[in-house]
Amino acid sequence: MYRAHVLVCGGTGCTSSNSLEIIKALEDSIAEAGLAEEIKVIKTGCFGLCAIGPIMIVYPEGCFYCGVKVEDVPEIVEEHLLKGRPVKRLIYKEDSSLNMAKSLNETDFYKKQHRIALRNCGVIDPENINEYIAMDGYQALAKCLTEMTPADVIKVVKDSGLRGRGGGGFPTGLKWEFTAKNQADQKYVVCNADEGDPGAFMDRSVLEGDPHAIIEAMTICGYATGATEGYIYVRAEYPIAVKRLEIAIGQAKELGLLGKNIFDSGFDFDLHIRLGAGAFVCGEETALMTSIEGNRGEPRPRPPYPAVKGLFGKPTTENNVETFANIPQILLHGAEQFASMGTERSKGTKVFALGGKIKNTGLVEIPMGTTLREVIEDIGGGIPGGKKFKAAQTGGPSGGCIPASLIDTPIDYDNLTAIGCMMGSGGLIVMDEDNCMVDIAKFFLDFTVDESCGKCSPCRIGTKRMMELLEKITSGNGTLEDIDKLEELAYYIKQNSLCGLGQTAPNPVLATLKFFRDEYIAHVVDKKCPAGVCKALLNYVIDPAKCKGCTKCARACPVGAISGTVKNPHTIDPSVCIKCGACMENCNFNAISKK
């Protein structure tokens, strides 16, 4: 028995700010203080509130420390763990002006969340199967194998209303049923952990924080669909997730929860890990399977669907990490409980990776139907620096944006589709008035041009042509006809591309055109970038009232575009200026601005 447990986040965000060194220092100081028998340090998965990492929680008090540094460790051990006096200056406070500490679940960030897929993240040690089992782990699998037929399992999943969390939103139970109906000597289960949307890290956090949930769910899926082998296709860029999966698979095999004759039911299931190699298109199911087979990850036309002819030509069920993470809870607590959450056609919860211009960047899990306003203002803590909210981008390079005027939209599959946006895999990037929507559209298109696999011409050539039009617009050479051409091309690519990548590639452009057409027009007619982002359209100007004539900017200018004499206001010659921004960076008086 330990009298206290110290949980430290070992997710990628916090390890990037040295949480592993903090754990080491903690263990050393605890041993030094002679408390090794009394206090246990646990490295957990992601807590979600990445903005204020590294995060540490001390139980039984539930004392929530944030922004901990290695230097703080001796004080925490000496004061808190030895003398029982929490270190006040490190305790998380929502508003630093109020001297009030709250426990984790009472904070605004956690209060409105409902954690199903993330239930164990930041709670258990992901490298210890016993902690997962203590949280009812593998009970759902036991129930399926010993009390239910495969058809029963599929019925529960269907009744729960769970839909694919990878972006498509296809009903999961139906997908399983299709595979189950096809007879074959071999079937497969595939977990899509190739999280390609830049700015999204839900799947990574689940794999890092709760790897056994995925193993359990895939085994259940295997039982339900008649598959005996599974593959987890995970990004090579996620080394911590890969390592924890390997450990988890090893432990499950050792306890007989994976392998031959699981729970003496006669059911066999084995799992393999395959590493991706950085190709966005591999998130598309047919491309992913082609990649597992060791080929260039190019998609192929459907039908035949994977349920008929998938991996190695055999019937295959493919689901995303977050979809699988919901499965054990659904089977354990029943379809009704899951279906009681959410909206009419979108049940349960959805995990979002909140990022961009928002105070509480991190991972949140909300019931479907929560409004964007609640996510941004209540959970996310609003926009830093008093700036105005402009839009939220969802679905990454395949998605669209939700403008400020629609901030009260309840988030679910159908509402987002109706406004020309999409749920996507869960990236939610908040943008403020300083972000140029044309530039954001260009950013995503640049991504898809780069990631287009080249198999079909609408995507390979079309996205490139769209990119050229956007470059023309942002460099100040665009015309109104270019905007029309851009739109026409976008619809053409959407209709004619082979796979999901091409069919959705124009979405960021179409969505920004729909809600922010005036910004496009400002770029081509007034030759101005209202947000002050597109360099070619900006002019740096010196405010003569603020300029002290210190000459620092003139010395910093690499092309000699600034003239003026000492103690007199300087001026910038726009015909010489290369818009590098060096003058603005160097000015001590805030006298230089972009217009």
Quick check: helix, strand or coil at residue 564? coil
196 lines the binding site for other proteins (CB under 8 A): yes
Contact window for other proteins (CB under 8 A) among 318-326, 413-421, 437-445, 496-504: 437-445
Q: Which residues contact 91 (CB under 8 A, 6 or more apart)?
A: 63, 64, 65, 66, 101
Residue with Cβ nearer other proteins (85 or 296): 296
* Residue placing its CB nearer to other proteins in the complex, 40 or 187: 187
Q: Cα–Cα–Cα angle for 72, 76, 82, nearest 5°? A: 150
**Residue 286 backbone dihedrals phi, psi, to 5 degrees:** -70, -35
> How many residues form the binding site for other proteins (CB under 8 A)?
53
Report the C-alpha gap between 360 and 123 in whole angstroms.
20
User: Judged by CB under 8 A, does residue 293 bind other proteins?
Assistant: yes
Q: Say which residue the tokens 């620096």 belong to.
A: 385
Binding mask 383-412 for other proteins (x = CB under 8 A): ----------x--x----------------
Q: How far is the CB of 84 from other proteins (least distance, A)?
A: 31
**Given candidates 6, 30, 50, 441, which one binds other proteins under the rule CB under 8 A?**
50
Binding other proteins by CB under 8 A: which of 246, 268, 336, 450? Answer: 450
Stretch that binds other proteins, among 48-56, 73-81, 148-156, 315-323 (CB under 8 A): 48-56
Question: Is 342 or 424 the residue whose CB approaches other proteins more closely?
Answer: 424
CB of residue 579 to other proteins, shortest distance in Å:
11
Burial class (CB in 10 A: 0-12, 13-18, 19+), 545: exposed
Distances (CA, A) of 481 to 464, 474, 487, 508: 18, 14, 10, 19
Question: Which among 21-29, 62-70, 123-131, 286-294 is the span making contact with other proteins, rule CB under 8 A?
Answer: 286-294
Q: Which residues within the stretch 323-342 sit at the binding site for other proteins (CB under 8 A)? A: none
Contact call for residue 56 and other proteins (CB under 8 A): no
DSSP 417-483: HHTT----SSEEEEEETTS-HHHHHHHHHHHHHHH--SSSHHHHHHHHHHHHHHHHHHTT---HHHH
Choose, by CB under 8 A, the member of 70, 135, 275, 521 that binds other proteins.
275
How far apart CA 25 and CA 526 sit, in angstroms, is 58
| 191 lies in the binding site for other proteins (CB under 8 A) | no
What's the N-to-C CA distance of the chain in angstroms? 65
Per-residue string for binding with other proteins, 552-581, x by CB under 8 A? -----------------------------x
Could you give phi then psi for residue 402, rounded to 5 degrees? -110, 115
Q: Identity (one letter) of the amino acid at 348?
A: G
Integer-rounded Cα Rg, in Å, for the chain is 27
Q: Which of 3, 16, 301, 565 binds other proteins (CB under 8 A)?
A: 16
200 near other proteins, judged by CB under 8 A: yes
Cα–Cα distance for residue pair 169/171, rounded to 1 Å: 6
Binding site for other proteins (CB under 8 A): 12-13, 16-17, 50-51, 53, 196-201, 204, 236-238, 274-280, 291-297, 312, 353, 355-357, 361-362, 393, 396, 427, 429, 431, 435, 440, 443-444, 447, 450-451, 453, 581, 585
